[in-house]
Amino acid sequence: MFNVKELKKSFLVSLWFMFLTFPIMVIKVNTIYGKVEWRWSRMFMVGVGSFFLSFIWRYMLRKKEMGMKQAEEGQDLKVPLTQRLIHEKRFSRPALIIICLFAIAFPLVFSLYQVNIMTTALIYVVVGLGLNIVVGLAGLLDLGYVAFYAVGAYSYALLNYHFGLGFWTVLPIGAGLAMLFGILLGFPVLRLRGDYLAIVTLGFGEIIRLVLENWNEFSFGPSGIANIPRPGLFGIQMNLHQVHIYIYYLMIGMTVFTIFVVRRLQDSRIGRAWMALREDEVACQAMGIDKTKTKLSAFALGATWAGMGGVVFAAKTTFINPASFTIWESIIILCIVVLGGMGSIVGVICGALVLILLPEYLRAFSEYRMLMFGAALIIMMVFRPGGIISDVRKVYQFKGFNETTKDQ
């Protein structure tokens, strides 16, 4: 329980908040009648609310510190890798079956508006899993990731406008062009890390956006490109409702494919090289891992999924312009990875669903929506810095020679 010292701190915090909010919450000037209204009840509410919030905040911090001390003292038991994997598989199969049935029946139960929101969330899931390769696995902070997203979208729009190429033809082309741009970005930043890498990638994303906005002969400038055709299905004519459902199921398939490939990459040799690069770049190079090849592969593969997501985005909206690919898009995608859990596939999926779906369902609280969003991010970063579902480190147990001979 809290002692008197902690209660005094919470009381001082409430007094400080009452002092700061006094001119805004208490004083109201009526310029029409020349009167000043004093709303003392609001100051009382601010004081009580800030006191209890500070009380809860300190309680959670104290609980977190106690948990960290117990972890340092070794009171928590480590479960072997094989047992943990068996435990996860045993309990995840029913959940996977329920999720698959819900995903298949979603367009049949909910409205077209809900289907469109979920399709947008699935696009961010695919793009977020691509950025998870760069940031979560390889540990390379990329703030210009939206540039590859724009490359994929404009690839489909321009190739369809000038050459009449369809969605399925441009989908691998857009992914390939985004991969090429990822390699071109990777070469200049091979020697950079941390904040310097973030600044360079941020500049790269802004360069791409400014080129698209000012090169009117190439990208039609701020006017953008309209009437982009939606994906077809063997020439079958579909109405608007059927097309949106078709794009939804298309994104379900692409999401499953992305999860499968990223999971295989994570468990492969290149995935282990990415994680070694993330932990310690010098030790990674000392172990004989080609740092250049590892970084370029991370940038190239991460950009590939952004390009595919950009092609689907252009086909879904049927209109794109440079305003759709600002720095805030990169920040949202990065927040998806960080909030969900860097390196965790399930965490990135949950982060994308939370950050994309919640703002849509909280439109009734539009005035306080961003305030709630910011408060949620702060609380998550303080009490769960690893994300909603953090990546579980693999634990390997080594049996000594004597134990192995006894087992035999």
Q: List the chain domain ranges.
A: 4-72, 77-109, 110-383
Residue 257 has φ and ψ, to the nearest 5°, of -65, -40
The candidate with the shortest Cα–Cα distance to 338, out of 91, 131, 71, 70, is 131
pLDDT per residue, tens digit, the chain (408 aa), is 456 777 778 888 888 888 888 877 778 777 777 787 788 888 888 888 888 878 777 777 777 677 666 655 554 444 444 434 434 444 467 778 888 888 888 898 888 889 999 999 999 999 999 999 999 888 888 888 999 999 999 999 999 999 888 899 999 999 999 999 999 888 888 777 778 888 888 888 899 999 999 988 888 888 889 989 988 887 777 888 888 999 999 999 999 999 999 999 988 889 889 888 888 888 888 888 888 888 899 999 999 999 999 999 999 999 999 988 988 888 889 888 888 888 888 889 988 888 888 877 777 666 676 777 777 777 777 777 777 777 666 655 556 555 544 444
Contact criterion met (CB below 8 Å) for 338 and 345: no
Could you please report the per-residue DSSP string of 125-187? HHHHHHHIIIIIIS----S-THHHHHHHHHHHHHHHHHH---HHHHHHHHHHHHHHHHHHHHT
The DSSP code for 25 is: I
The answer to whether residues 185 and 204 touch, using CB atoms and an 8 Å cutoff, is: yes
The reported pLDDT for the residue numbered 119 is 93
pLDDT at res. 117 = 92
d(Cα 366, Cα 357) in Å, to the nearest integer? 14
- What's the pLDDT score for residue 142? 86
CA-CA distance, 349 to 18, in Å (whole number)?
A: 40
Q: Is the pTM of this model over 0.85?
A: no
How many Å apart are CA 328 and CA 344, to the nearest integer?
Answer: 23
* 63: helix, strand or coil: helix
pLDDT of 125 reads 94
Give dist(CA 113, CA 346) in Å, integer. Answer: 25
Strand-pair partners of 27: 38
User: Which residue intervals of 187-288 are DSSP H helices?
Assistant: 195-214, 216-219, 240-267, 269-279, 281-286
Rg (CA), the chain: 26
Give residues with Cβ within 8 angstroms of 148, minimum separation 6.
Answer: 130, 178, 181, 182, 302, 303, 306, 307, 310
